[in-house]
Chain A
Amino acid sequence: MPRARKLLCRNVWKLYGPDARSFLDQNPNPTDADLSEVAMIGAVRAADVEIREGEIFVIMGLSGSGKSTLVRCLSRLVEPTGGEIEFDGEDLLAMNAAQLTQLRRRKIGMVFQNFALLPHLTVLQNIAFPLDVQGVERATREARAHEMIDIVGLKGREDNFPRELSGGQQQRVGIARSLVGEPEIWFLDEPFSALDPLIRREMQDEFMRLQGLLHKTIVFITHDFDEAIRLADRIAVMKDGRIVQTATPEELVLNPANDYVAEFTKHIPRGKVLSIGAIMAPLGDGPFAGDLDAACRVADVADSVEAAQRPFRVMQDGAPVGQVDAAAVVDVLIGRPRT
């Protein structure tokens, strides 16, 4: 069942250059050549995104692909040159500064790549900062900040200053600060890119744990395809300001829209992405070693399928839809092309 739509952006453009807006008005769909002719830079081009309530939507792209600009358009930190953005059915671009401030205070939280903590405030004060600017009284906001400190596991660090913390700890503060106002939508701009690989892994787990607790609507920016695959419900791949493909991780791996996307998916351990349903063969006569749900990831059930002498029956919504045997699983795990 499709979930309710939270954030919708239609044909959003962000051009940098002199008189970008009137240029786009005259020429609503400029090509590369049009742009380079007037020395205009197309940071975001014709972006269509629909983000549904409670999903983790990952925007993936290499540096310079426009992913950070797109997320800043969504939060209106950057003013889009053209297009429409709807937040909960409201026109985001029509809001004035005061309405925007109110929206950000109540409904949006954001985490930044380099943490963006205020150097003169302690951990506690940094986390309480969004409530402070809303005028929430000190005892209330600090109590709330203490709750957040417990949730992100920073107990005992309340009175430290950011510079006294490790990178991972600083980002925990950033996360706590972005969540203290109980936002409905949560933007994370490459939150783990500045961290060491081991810490990054740990923070990803932490992030999934938090999401299991909070069920936010999430827009997550990354340049790391592995990270995108690991975390996403759906992924939008960006290149040169355009969204190349929007799909679930499995669809991306199975049906990359072009060579560019295929290049990323090639090196992904497919067993962790593909579901049994995607590799099953037509249902045979049996006998079967047991039943598996079509949505299971191949890697999760590989051991039992391989160990069994017979194929497993694949079930979807209580009905048998196919079968899967050890050979099919091994093909996926070692990356052999399917015949």
Chain B
Amino acid sequence: MNWRRLTTPSALFWWALLALTWTLSTYSFQLYKALDARWIIRFPKGWQLNFEGWISSAMKWLLEDASFGLFTFQELTRFISAIIEVPYDAARALLADGFVRGLGSNAVDIAPPLSWIAVTALMVLLARYAKGWGLAALVGACFVYLAVFGQWDSAMVTLASVVIAVPIGVLGGLALGIACYRAAWVERAMRPVLDLMQTVPIFAYLVPILFLFGFGPVSALVATVIYAMPPMVRVATVALQSVPPEVVEAGHMAGCTKRQMMWKVLVPSAAPTLMVGVNQVIMLSLNMVIIASMIGAGGLGFDVLSALRRLDIGGGIEAGLAIVVIAIALDRVSQAFAGRLPDAAPARGANIAQRHPYLVAAALIVIGTYIASLALPFVQDYPERFTLTTSAFWEDAMRWINITFFDTLDTIKSFFLTWLLLPVKRFFTGIPWAWGIIAAGLAAARVGGWRLGLMAAVMSALIAAVGLWDKAMTTVYLCGVSVLIAYAIGVPLGIWAGQRARAHAWVGAFIDTLQTLPSFVYLIPVVMLFRVGDFSAMIAVVLYALAPAVRYAAHGVRSVDPQMIEAGLVAGCTPRQLLWRIKLPLAAPSLLLGLNQTIMLALSMLVITALVGTRDLGQEVYIALTKANVGQGIVAGLAVAFIAIIADRMISAMAAKSKERLGLT
């Protein structure tokens, strides 16, 4: 190790900052006693800003009194509800409930929903169209699984929400993306909004929406769309901007009008990238639909949630697996569309079946299964007799693990708690708020200049001023420990995979799957094994946040210029020297970006782990959700967003610096 590097002026700054913070953190209580100044450890109540109350009363005013002249705000929300409700009801009728006329006991069935065979066959057809028979088999297996294991009805309710949320998210995102592409000022205005929307924790979205739209599937859909749209806006903007300028010029020279340019040149040229955005919207919608079961979305998410509340291990795992299965199917199909090549034009004079073979096949499936179901009931509903349940199996397996490995699990848990979690927690929660604000400002100023320092200090001060300092520090501690562990596991894994082609393929597939899973699913096994508490939360966060650490490390190592490696080999480097002296230094910017992403994912997951009993900002948001307290929810949500923004800006500044140093800009 190079000791001189630890004593440079820049390293000394960090040592001094750390030492001072540690001292103040450890002795803050003594300091308070000695000076008899309680404000050192508690932010004085009298100075607290009542944002919570202001926001709550503003929302109340919005809902009860606000008016735009012609209509009131409440009418607007009702109107939005209505236009969402119509297609949602239709989708739900089609997939899950069947079509009825009339209400309540007077209801008359008009038509049953699509049968399980029809839905499965249509999905298989879609997969075949997108890629081929291999994917079709996978998708078919996924949907048959849902039927056989008795998850069909819940799964279809979930799917109905996704089917409605995705087109709204995609079209809305595309429209905003086009606006960003056309006018630079729209993009400038949009960027901070998108940043905030992606850093505010999911639960915080739910609170005001719950307040405005009430409990039920429409609220859940609104939340889903808002949550899933930002990445589409970004992807659409970038996709349109990266259409080669020559192609745009070719469009101009061909004499395209503005509209022709957009729809005949830009959007089709950007289609493969746009499909990446569509894939993201689908996966985020699924994630949110699951979480939104808390405000009435129903479906698989509700099953998991109620199983978690009842500590029904088997049921929870079953529903969780069903979510995994749906996630995999939707992800693979939408990814296949992104890589799909356009069809050759059909021969002239072809009949309708030759021109649209898939549409015709789909129509035949729907009509055929409908007629068959009139005579054969098992075509309509998968017969209950043949349903398998694994609930008991999981229950036994978990019991066995818990009994057999109780001591081992308990030892692991208390080891981590004693030696890592608690000391770090003591350190962070001990920091007096006033010094915390200064330290955040100093650190940020050091890496990114005084503007960044000022921003970090102001944001930290706001967190303190709304009385959330302790909870924020608990969030920082849990997030910090989780990120540390995720990074310590993920980076070596990524480096290892980045140097071996076959390992890269396997690890990549594993990480991809891990990332498609809705965040909710991670809680299930963790709670089963380690009960509730900080340790369980940490494990769930580590699992969820592992992916970017691995991916960016692998990417960084792989994208080192081969000439550099050849130069190293010629200079006589051993493989070890090659890694430490050449690959890692050059991969530094990529590693930092990975760290950034890891922190972002960790924060978003941390909020969800409020369900397993943490005591941080996430819990604050969750409590606000259960009480429908808009002010509390928004304030705590923004506090999380502030932490995320400070971390993001600081690490981005570090990455930019290291890129500049390596001449990679």
Query: Are A and B associated in one complex?
Result: yes
Contact A101 B253 (CB under 8 A): no
**Chain B residues, CB < 8 A from A122:** 344-345
Known: A120-B342, A122-B344. A104 touches B252 (CB 8 A): yes
- B264 contact set on A, CB distance < 8 A: 129, 132-133
| Residue B246 interfacial (CB < 8 Å) | yes
User: B255 contacts A134, CB within 8 Å?
Assistant: yes
Contact A110 B255 (CB under 8 A): no
Note all chain B residues with C-beta closer than 8 A to A119. Answer: 268-269
Q: Select A112's contact among B246, B255, B269, B271, beta carbons within 8 Å.
A: B246
The answer on a CB contact under 8 Å between A101 and B257 is: yes
A77 to chain B, nearest CB (A): 5
Decide yes or no whether B566 CB sits under 8 A from chain A: no
Residues of A close to B341: CB separation below 8 A: 161
Q: Which residues of B contact A110 (CB under 8 A)?
A: 249-250, 253
Shortest distance between the CB of B255 and any CB in chain A (Å): 3
CA distance A117 to B244 in the complex (A): 10
Please provide the chain B residues from 246 to 267 with a CB less than 8 Å away from any CB of chain A in the complex.
246-247, 249-250, 252-257, 260, 264-265
- Report whether A116 and B255 are in contact in the complex, using a CB–CB cutoff of 8 Å: no
Docked Cα-Cα span, A119 to B270, in Å, equals 9
User: Interface size on B (CB < 8 Å)?
Assistant: 21
Asked if B268 and A114 sit within 8 Å, CB to CB, the answer is: no
Inter-subunit contact A101/B250 (CB<8 Å): no
Q: Does A130 contact B (CB under 8 A)?
A: yes
Q: How far is the CA of A291 from the CA of B59 in the complex (A)?
A: 100
A119 to B244, CA, bound (A): 11
Bound Cα distance from A172 to B445, whole angstroms: 57
In the assembled complex, A65 has its CB within 8 A of some CB on chain B: no
User: Is the beta-carbon distance between A159 and B345 smaller than 8 angstroms?
Assistant: yes
A134–B247 Cα distance when bound, in Å, is 18
Output the least CB separation between B340 and chain A (Å).
Answer: 11
**Residue numbers in B under 8 Å from A117 (CB-CB):** 247, 250
A42 at the binding interface (Cβ < 8 Å): no
Interface code A73-117, partner B: CB below 8 Å = 1, 0 otherwise? Answer: 001010000000000000000000000011011001110111111
Expressed in whole angstroms, the Cα–Cα distance for A294 and B264 within the complex equals 53
Binary CB contact string for chain B from 427 to 470 against chain A (1 if under 8 A, 0 otherwise): 00000000000000000000000000000000000000000000
The docked-state distance in angstroms from the alpha carbon of A129 to that of B265 is 10
Give A108's nearest chain B residue, CB to CB: B253
The CA of A187 and the CA of B264, in the complex, are separated in Å by 23
Chain B positions within 8 Å of A270 at CB level:
none
Q: Bound complex: CA of A134 vs CA of B268, how far in Å?
A: 18
Residue of B whose beta carbon sits closest to that of A112 = B246
The complex places the Cα of A312 from the Cα of B276 at a distance, in Å, of: 73
The listed residue (A72, A104, A118) touching B255 by CB distance below 8 A is A104
A177 within 8 A of B: yes
Contact flags (1/0) for B330-356 with A, using CB distance below 8 Å? 000000000001101100000000000
A161–B269 alpha-carbon span in the complex (Å)? 13
B349, chain A: closest CB distance, angstroms: 13
- The A265-315 residues at the B interface (CB cut-off 8 A) are none
Q: How far is the CA of A177 from the CA of B255 in the complex (A)?
A: 12
Q: Is A178 part of the contact surface with B, judged by Cβ < 8 Å?
A: yes
Give Cα A232 to B256, complex, Å.
Answer: 31
The answer to whether B246 and A116 touch across the interface, beta carbons within 8 angstroms, is: yes
Q: B residues within 8 A CB of A133?
A: 254-257, 260, 264
Complex-state Cα separation, A50 to B634, whole angstroms: 66
Interface residues of B in 300-354 (CB under 8 A from A): 341-342, 344-345
- Chain A residues contacting B256 (CB-CB under 8 Å) are 101, 133
Chain A's nearest CB lies how many Å from the CB of B241? 16
**Cα of A308 to Cα of B260 in the assembled complex, Å:** 66
Which residue on chain B has the smallest CB distance to residue A164?
Answer: B341
With A120-B342, A134-B255 known to touch, is A113 a contact of B246 (CB < 8 Å)?
yes
A161 touches B342 (CB 8 A): yes
Residues on the B chain within 8 Å of A177, using CB: 250, 254
Question: Which parts of A169-185 form the interface with B (CB within 8 Å)?
Answer: 177-178, 181
* Pair count A-B, CB < 8 A: 73
Alpha-carbon distance between A114 and B245 when the two chains are bound, in angstroms: 10
Q: Are B254 and A112 in contact, with the CB atoms below 8 A?
A: no
Question: Nearest Cβ in chain A — how far from B211, in angstroms?
Answer: 45
B247: which of A104, A108, A118 is its contact (CB, 8 Å)? A118
Most buried by A among B244, B249, B253, B344: B253
Residue of A nearest to B256 (CB): A133
Q: How far is the CA of A181 from the CA of B252 in the complex (A)?
A: 14
B247, B254, B342: most-surrounded residue (chain A CB, <10 A): B254
Cβ-defined contact, A105 with B254, below 8 A:
yes
- The residue that A120 contacts in the complex, of B249, B252, B269, B344, with Cβ under 8 A, is B269
Write out, one digit per residue, whether chain B residues 228-254 have a CB within 8 A of any chain A CB (1) or not (0). Answer: 000000000000000010110110111
In the complex, how many angstroms separate the beta carbon of A188 from the nearest chain B beta carbon?
A: 12
Q: Are B253 and A104 in contact (CB under 8 A)?
A: yes
Instruction: Note all chain A residues with C-beta closer than 8 A to B260.
Output: 133
Known: A102-B255, A133-B255. A159 touches B250 (CB 8 A): no
Contact with B along A159-171 (1 / 0, CB 8 A): 1010000000000
Q: How far is the CA of A102 from the CA of B256 in the complex (A)?
A: 9
Alpha-carbon gap, A181 to B253, bound state (A)? 11
> What chain A residues lie within 8 Å of B269 (beta carbons)?
118-120
Specify which chain B residues have a CB less than 8 angstroms from the CB of A178 in the assembled complex: 253
Tell which of B249, B342, B344, B345 touches A116, judged by Cβ atoms closer than 8 Å.
B249
**Structural contact, B254 and A116, CB atoms closer than 8 A:** no
- Chain B nearest CB: distance from A89 CB in Å? 21
- Cβ contact within 8 Å between B249 and A112: yes
How near does chain A come to B407, taking the closest CB pair, in angstroms?
A: 61
Could you tell me the distance in whole angstroms from the C-beta of B129 to the nearest C-beta in chain A? 17
A116-B244 contact in complex given A133-B264, A159-B344, C-beta closer than 8 Å: yes
In the complex, the chain A residue whose C-beta lies closest to that of B255 is A105
Please name the residue on chain A nearest to B253 by beta carbon. Answer: A110
Q: Which residue on chain A has the smallest CB distance to residue B271?
A: A120
Closest CB in chain A relative to B120 CB, distance in Å: 31
Contacts of B268 in A (CB 8 A): 118-121
Residue in B247, B255, B269, B341 with the greatest tally of chain A CB atoms within 10 Å: B255
Please indicate the chain A residues that have their CB under 8 angstroms from the CB of B252 in the complex.
77, 104
A105 CA to B340 CA in the complex, in Å? 32
Assess A116 versus B257: contact at CB under 8 Å? Given A122-B345, A132-B264, A133-B264: no
Interface string of B262-287 (1 = CB under 8 A from A): 00110011010000000000000000
Identity of the chain B residue whose Cβ is nearest the Cβ of A119 in the assembled complex: B269
- In the complex, the chain B residue whose C-beta lies closest to that of A107 is B255
Report Cα–Cα, A75/B254, bound state, in Å.
12
Contacts of B342 in A (CB 8 A): 120, 161
CA of A132 to CA of B252 in the docked complex: distance in angstroms?
13
With CB as the reference atom, state the residue of chain B lying closest to A102: B255
- Distance, CA A105 to CA B344, complexed state (A): 28
CA distance A48 to B271 in the complex (A): 42
Smallest distance from the beta carbon of B326 to chain A beta carbons, Å? 30
In the complex, what distance in Å separates the CA atom of A112 from the CA atom of B246? 7
Alpha-carbon gap, A121 to B244, bound state (A): 16
CB neighbours of A108 from chain B (8 A):
253
What are the interface flags for B392-425 relative to A under an 8 Å C-beta threshold, 1 for contact and 0 otherwise? 0000000000000000000000000000000000
Question: Which residue of chain A has its CB nearest to the CB of B272?
Answer: A119
Collect the chain A residues with CB atoms within 8 Å of residue B246's CB: 112-116
- Complexed CA–CA distance, A115 and B249 (Å): 11
Query: How many angstroms from the CA of A290 to the CA of B299 in the assembled complex?
Result: 99
Contact check, A114 vs B244: say whether CB atoms are below 8 A apart. yes
Known contacts A120-B342, A161-B341, A161-B342: A104-B250 contact under CB 8 Å: no
Besides A117-B247, A133-B260, 5 more A-B contacts (Cβ < 8 Å) are: A101-B255, A110-B253, A117-B250, A119-B269, A161-B341
Interface residues of B (CB under 8 A from A): 244, 246-247, 249-250, 252-257, 260, 264-265, 268-269, 271, 341-342, 344-345
A-B pairs, top 9 by smallest CB distance, nearest first, are: A105-B255, A130-B254, A116-B246, A116-B250, A110-B253, A120-B268, A112-B246, A104-B255, A116-B247
Can you list 10 A-B contacts (CB < 8 A)? A101-B257, A110-B249, A114-B244, A114-B246, A116-B246, A118-B265, A124-B345, A130-B253, A133-B264, A161-B341
